[in-house]
Copies of this chain bind each other. A is one copy, B any other.
């Protein structure tokens, strides 16, 4: 068959299970979502992506809610349906309210508009911004 399906926990090699276990433990969930089960078809991608994501999304100078909002902003801009759904859910878990969601999409929409106005009018960068 031409397209790889999900790698369920029971089918996974020990190295796959180890990543799944770490995801479930870190996130305090009973199962990993489809994203991980599909990229598990390439073990180096599974392991690297999880370790990178775990590190990047951890609390730091920006808190986890802000990081999830940023993730949604990028995913909406790129029109990634899976990513919009999964990261909106994650943002909800991190505390995003309905009002925050409305404002988030308003900013994302406006930024996409003004980005094109800046390009279309060929606006030169102000010296003050350099």
Contact = CB atoms under 8 A, between A and B. Distances in A.
Contacts of A45: 102, 105-106, 109, 117
Given A34-B124, A111-B83, A116 B77 contact: yes
B129 A86 contact: yes
Contacts of A34: 123-126
A90 B123 CA distance: 17
Interface string A51-85: 01101110011100011011111111111111111
A69 B53 CA distance: 19
A81 B79 CA distance: 10
A88 B3 contact: yes
A14 interface: no
Given A44-B102, A49-B109, A69-B70, 9 more contacts: A39-B123, A42-B105, A44-B55, A56-B107, A66-B69, A73-B74, A79-B80, A82-B124, A89-B128
Interface of A: 2-4, 33-35, 38-39, 41-42, 44-45, 48-49, 52-53, 55-57, 60-62, 66-67, 69-89, 92, 97-126, 128-130
